[in-house]
Amino acid sequence: MGIEALEDVLEKRIGLRNLDTIRWNLSTAQLYESSIRRREAFLAHHGPLVTRTGSFTGRAPNDKFVVDEPGSRDKIWWGKVNRPFSEENFDKLLKKVCNFLEGQGLFVQDLLVGADTRYEMPIRVITQKAWHSLFARNMFIRPENFNRKIGVDEPQFTVLQAPHFHAQPAVDGTNSEAFIIVHFGRRLVLIGGTQYAGEIKKSIFSVMNYMLPQQGVLSMHASANVSDEGDTAVFFGLSGTGKTTLSADPDRQLIGDDEHGWGDSGIFNLEGGCYAKVIRLDKAREPLIYATTRRFGTILENVGMDFRHRKLDLDDDRLTENTRAAYPITHIPNAMYPGIGGHPKNIVMLTADAFGVLPPVAKLTPAQAMYHFLSGYTAKVAGTETGVTEPRATFSTCFGAPFMSLHPSVYGNLLMQKMQEHAADCWLINTGWTGGPYGVGRRMDINHTRAMLDAALSGALNGVAMTEDPIFRVMVPESCPGVPSEVLRPENTWEDKAAYRQQAEGLARLFQENFKEFEALVSDEVKDSGPQL
């Protein structure tokens, strides 16, 4: 890609001019990449880059907007997740951002989203800081790794990120000084006022959640891996439920840790990197992810560090519980890059039950899978979003409501259709609390969780006797290799059985109340497959 052509596109599509500084940064980046290739062995001995994101240490969901424009207006799932932003205010804000960036050194990356070439989307990410540019390069697919070149006219979406520009809500129509605004008509994402790099990643995920289902592809907030025999597994779940940890299995190849599509040929990763939560990461229990925190090229967001002695402290939560590691997926030794797998044999829905009453593992019928997918019950984990300081019960439809651009029924119907077509088994696994609710009980033992997951994926649970949970009506195995039998029945882990019953019935009512908004959109079989009192 020629520098002059890039300047032309930036000026015409974004409105930036006087781009000598961009020319300098691009030339420097090219020399830097060449240096990396020549000195790979030397750089392998260097550590990660530790960064700080300022006041925003997590996503800012109340600052996310979608421009209300004719081309996408009738498709968007308007509401709390996708709040409308006027085209007039967008144009004014974009102009102010461009004026603010005028004459500054910017960093440009041309990348790909989607490992399946039939559905890939070229993107351009323009950032104010070098480390955000590296973040984008870590997270998305790098075309030169596969001898792919993106021409200047090819990028289908552009991200313009200006973290040091702060909006004026009363003037600009935003909620605060931060903003994340998607304009589907102009194929542009505008980010400002926040240095949290996850906004770059998740804004593009919201874009793919708009684009892919319209091509018959199920976009999923899920991780995925595959066995040596080719059995693909998909893991749905919000941040903090164990998607990254459980999919990074030394005995299985990692396809991806967070965002995937399910197309005609199977599963494919939307990304080329991982964005793992690393607070209190344990080397013995999570060795693959732990090793990435020591690797050159990894970005550590808000991780504790003794800067004098250059020593990391993964237990340090003084800045946030939401400490993150952003690294190329190739940092995981058994990862597939690009990540492509077959149709899944098993689908796992992960939840972190803050009430401590859901079984740690249960098998779902197709109707129950649809019910729990649309419900998306979990607990919001401290620090994942601004203002969340401790886990609390929540329902996030499709296990990713903050990123769903279309109505949840679109994703739910696609999931049901693909599950039935490919005869996939579905499991509900609770990585949350046992022996009592949050504050009384304890977090599920990860070794027990891994044993239950291994048994489900290997088929070891298929011949085991199962009993229906009397309230949640899911089928719970009576035994599981490597797990004490009393752990499998939540009531057995509680000292106060009456308190257990009260909490379980309370959660069942929450399920029923939440599902009312979907009852008119699903069959009676799905509607009647949830908890009953």
Nearest to 460 by CA among 438, 472, 477: 477
Give residue 19's pLDDT.
37
CA distances from 21 to 6, 104, 123 (A): 13, 7, 21
Nearest to 400 by CA among 180, 264, 218: 218
Q: Is 148 a catalytic residue?
A: no
Within 13 A of 236's CA, how many CA atoms are on the CB side? 32
Q: How far is CA 182 from CA 67, 87, 164, 252, in A?
A: 6, 11, 19, 36
**Residue 227, pLDDT above cutoff 80:** yes
Compute the half-sphere exposure of residue 533: CA atoms within 13 Å on the CB side of its CA.
Answer: 13
The terminus-to-terminus CA distance of the chain in angstroms comes to: 63
Mean of all residue pLDDT scores within the chain: 89
pLDDT digits (tens, 9 = 90+) for 265-299: 999 999 999 999 999 999 998 899 999 999 999 99
Active site residue 375: no
The residue from 137, 324, 331, 372 that is catalytic is 324
Of the two residues 193 and 22, the one the predictor is more confident about is 193
Q: What are the start and end residues of each CATH 3.90.228.20 domain in the chain?
A: 344-527
- What is the predicted pLDDT for the residue at 30? 45
324 flagged as catalytic = yes
pLDDT confidence tier of residue 4, bands split at 50, 70 and 90: very low
Of 132, 186, 221, 345, which one is the catalytic site residue?
221
- Whether residue 373 contacts residue 357, with contact meaning beta carbons closer than 8 Å, is answered with no
Would you say 501 and 469 are in contact if contact means Cβ atoms under 8 Å apart?
no
Cα angle 14, 19, 21; round to 5: 130
244 carries an active-site annotation: yes
Choose the catalytic residue: 127, 206, 244, 293. Answer: 244
pLDDT surpasses 50 at 38: no
| Class of the CATH-defined domain 275-331 | mainly beta
Active site includes 201? no
- Report the helix count and the strand count for the chain, using DSSP H and E: 15, 28
Given a cut of 80, is residue 196 above it in pLDDT? yes
Tokens of 31: 């020399």
For 44-92, write each residue's pLDDT tens digit.
457 899 999 999 999 999 999 999 999 999 999 999 999 999 999 999 9
Q: Residue 432's pLDDT is what? A: 92
In the chain, CATH 3.40.449.10 covers 3-211
Each residue's pLDDT tens digit, 411-431 = 999 999 999 999 999 999 999
Catalytic residue among 68, 172, 249, 258: 258
Residue 359, pLDDT above cutoff 90: yes
pLDDT at 23: 37
Residues 342-370, mean pLDDT to the nearest whole number: 95
Topology of domain 344-527, CATH: Phosphoenolpyruvate Carboxykinase; domain 3 (3.90.228)
CB-CB contact of 432 with 444 (8 Å): yes
* Fold type of domain 3-211: Phosphoenolpyruvate Carboxykinase; domain 1 (3.40.449)
**pLDDT single digits (tens) 91-140:** 999 999 999 999 888 999 999 999 999 999 999 999 999 999 999 999 99
Are the CB atoms for 328 and 256 separated by under 8 Å?
Answer: no
pLDDT band for position 171 (cuts 50, 70, 90) = very high
Q: Is 110 a catalytic residue?
A: no
- Residues of the chain within CATH 2.170.8.10 domain(s) are 275-331
Residues 6+ apart with CB under 8 A from 454: 460, 481, 482
Query: Which residue among the candidates 203, 239, 293, 396 is catalytic per the annotation?
Result: 239
Catalytic residue of the set 132, 183, 186, 202:
202
Contact 289, 247 (CB under 8 A): no
Confidence (pLDDT) at 222: 95
* pLDDT number for residue 385: 52
